[in-house]
Structure 1
Amino acid sequence: MSQRNRVSYVQPAEPAFLSRFKERVGYREGPTVETKMKNQLQQMEES
């Protein structure tokens, strides 16, 4: 297999100034794709 097909993504660490800013303003992360999918699956199972 060619090396060209082995693409991956590594998310960089969040800079310290952003962490401090988010903490100061009370920022909360929104739902991710995984949590949305999990919620949809749970709703389908309950129906």
Structure 2
Amino acid sequence: MGVLSHEIGYALGLGHVSGPNKLMYDNDGRTVFKPTSDEIDGVNYLYLRRGG
């Protein structure tokens, strides 16, 4: 499930980040299932800024 969540992050436009406790950390042994507030803010920035 962690890998799927990571891949969905890519689909939403997120890239890798530093910090092993983050969803978008580049790690094959994924155990993080929920995005951090930074990652949520990143998605909001990507999609809400387009609305004006």
Structure 1 or 2: more helix by fraction: 1
TM-score when normalising by structure 1? 0.34
By relative contact order (CA 8 Å, sep 6+), the higher-ranking structure is 2
Larger Rg: 1
TM-score when normalising by structure 2? 0.32
